[in-house]
Structure 1
């Protein structure tokens, strides 16, 4: 994985995920135009998350069966179709269909992360995941800046039109720049890998890291899905473009956590998770000051997005190190928790802001963060022998040692007489 290919995959992730979150800074005009009330505006974002959830279960496992490069290109084209539907919608239900389609195929993000993890040497896996995942955060947060500016000049529909064009361009670029990927298990079928995702949920490391992600992104969604409502109201009464600028603060925090992949490669993923979740709780004390201070809000946003990115990269590094044979499936299973948490945060925060103001929403976000920290602490206290898969740093390094050699072996086999026998078969013999 050269730097150029990492960057391309990061851009793919950013554009794909931007379609889900682009509505956040323009919920008010978008809801007004489509006839959606303020109390239900959060569902404009949540519907994309539910589509994303369906994609995680039904589409991401395809990455363990077919060439991920072609899969990325096809998914980007369908994301563009969803964006076009949304941009041209004359009724709320048409926009919801477009957002659901774009959300379902935005799981191209997980396919891109799985591609980066599978083609990287074990010692650099965390770095690759960190760089590619940073594109996700840039897309989520950068979309707010771009959305606000475009919406103020050309309206909210222009945002989805631009995303559609970018998705189609990236689909073509992926086919040209990225090499085809060899399948390590050509005998595996789609039905088999989809069923295997269900089996992963019974394993402790996925349950632990998944629950942490659920509460982590519920806290994240509580901030970003509800933030535009109090900023557009008294006393600030900010325009869409100014609301979008707060994404720059989050971007600074998220990019600062890009080093989380290197920390994971160094074996510090578990303690970094605990420290970052503690920081996440503290960030809400500053975010809660929104009615009185925008500067404290900015500080809180930087801290929150730093913490979220650090935990997210650490989670994915631990999971892909344990299951290198099912990278797409394990990431897809993990991201189910992410989608559910994000949807919960998006749907709950708008209702709470309307009923109890920003204080109520801030308490909710801090509560989600505290739950994530509690899951991490409980996992640290439980005996390691209670898991079917090894948990934590020790298990990750054991799994890495078992698979380090296999990751470097060509996956191709041949039935032609006299063809070379793969290294793993020679070792078994």
Structure 2
């Protein structure tokens, strides 16, 4: 399931490293080729809202397999496309159905033995994270071997094989709910209104991802400028420092199962996410400090995300997919807002402006985390007194 999530998530990021080659192949300008990035992201967002909630209605193993096969069809359309229109259609199909990864995350929690849901979610999310972080490097390597289309051809075959493996290995869901589709979608708003823990954890994670997105949106700008003046390949290697987040993801899940979620949230928000902006500030003139900042930031984000997502998955077992859809929609909405704010701050005040905005968002995330922890502790105390 972790490998499947990595394939699904990474496939949406290949085009970011291949835009120049794609533009040359189809004879379009880079702005037109760049639309594929937007198409993939928008299609993924639509899939989160409209497809992943069906995990509470349909049998999850079959749903994940079908979605992954459809995503493989999208990558095949891209890899063997004869026109730019077919390329864009394949990008849309692949992005829309790559939400198979977000069907597998709540399924991992549902399949867990008692007390191990956090570990399962952490392990699956670590695969997703590694897929995203390695996607650009894999795309560049395969493109060097056989051109940009080879990247998508290999991915299409790999995803089809993985889908068949999942069909063979994974158990079937035990309690699919025969809810009308309209009711499934409408219930997501009801869950957001009636589940304060869902709102708090979604807000905290959205603010945390927004802070991180400020950095990723402006990283290439600062590292390619004087005095560092790094090349695209060197900048990509700096970004790979975030792969350490995959290590903390699994550890964070295990800690959450042991009742240490409050410690993880406070550590991630206060000590790592916020303090990471200090070495990033110094990183304008030092690659070493920048790498330290990326490491701390990614560790902090994963500590917050894994803890919150595993907690959301356990709130209402009968609504895991819908709860996860609400959470992930808010999570990526925060990322989009952070990217926009980061570019705005860079245009206004350069790297210092971006760091100030990012640190401000990290502080808001920390405040949200601390308020959420205190609320949870009061709820637990009230329940204990009532008992």
TM-score when normalising by structure 1: 0.78
Distance 2:22 2:299 in 1: 29
Whether 1:120 aligns to 2:112 is yes
* Contact 1:352/1:361, CA 8 A, preserved across alignment: yes
- The equivalent residue for 1:106 is 98
Q: Which moved more, 1:282-291 or 1:321-330?
A: 282-291
Any unmatched runs of 5+ in structure 2?
none
- The equivalent residue for 1:370 is 363
| TM superposition shift of 1:296 | 1.0
Whether 1:291 aligns to 2:270 is no
* Contact 1:290/1:297, CA 8 A, preserved across alignment: yes
Match of 1:244 among 203, 225, 236: 236
- 1:242-391 aligned at under 5 Å gives the runs 242-278=234-270, 279-350=272-343, 352-353=345-346, 356-380=349-373, 384=375, 391=376
Q: Which moved more, 1:274-283 or 1:236-245?
A: 236-245
- 1:23-422 aligned at under 5 Å gives the runs 23-25=15-17, 34-37=28-31, 45-87=37-79, 97-152=89-144, 154-183=146-175, 185-202=176-193, 203-278=195-270, 279-350=272-343, 352-353=345-346, 356-380=349-373, 384=375, 391=376
| TM superposition shift of 1:186 | 3.9
* SS at 1:123 equivalent: coil
| TM superposition shift of 1:123 | 0.7
Corresponding pairs, count: 379
Distance 2:102 2:202 in 1: 15
Quickly say closer, same or farther: Cα 1:396–1:238, change in 2 above 3 A. Answer: farther
Q: Which moved more, 1:23-32 or 1:105-114?
A: 23-32
* SS at 2:275 equivalent: helix
Distance 2:222 2:20 in 1: 11
* SS at 1:292 equivalent: coil
Quickly say closer, same or farther: Cα 1:353–1:18, change in 2 above 3 A. Answer: farther
TM-score when normalising by structure 2: 0.85
Quickly say closer, same or farther: Cα 1:154–1:263, change in 2 above 3 A. Answer: same
Tell me the alpha carbon deviations over residues 143-187 of structure 1, each in whole angstroms, 9 at most, x when there is no partner. Answer: 23323434455555443333323222211111122122222x544
More helix by share: 2
CA RMSD of aligned residues (A): 3.1
Quickly say closer, same or farther: Cα 1:342–1:26, change in 2 above 3 A. Answer: farther
Whether 1:21 aligns to 2:22 is no
Q: Which moved more, 1:295-304 or 1:242-251?
A: 242-251
Distance 1:30 1:350 in 2: 25
Distance 1:69 1:93 in 2: 32
* SS at 1:122 equivalent: coil
Any unmatched runs of 5+ in structure 1?
1-8, 385-390, 399-429
Tell me the alpha carbon deviations over residues 231-278 of structure 1, each in whole angstroms, 9 at most, x when there is no partner. Answer: 445554544443332343111233134210111111121331122012
Q: Which moved more, 1:83-92 or 1:97-106?
A: 83-92
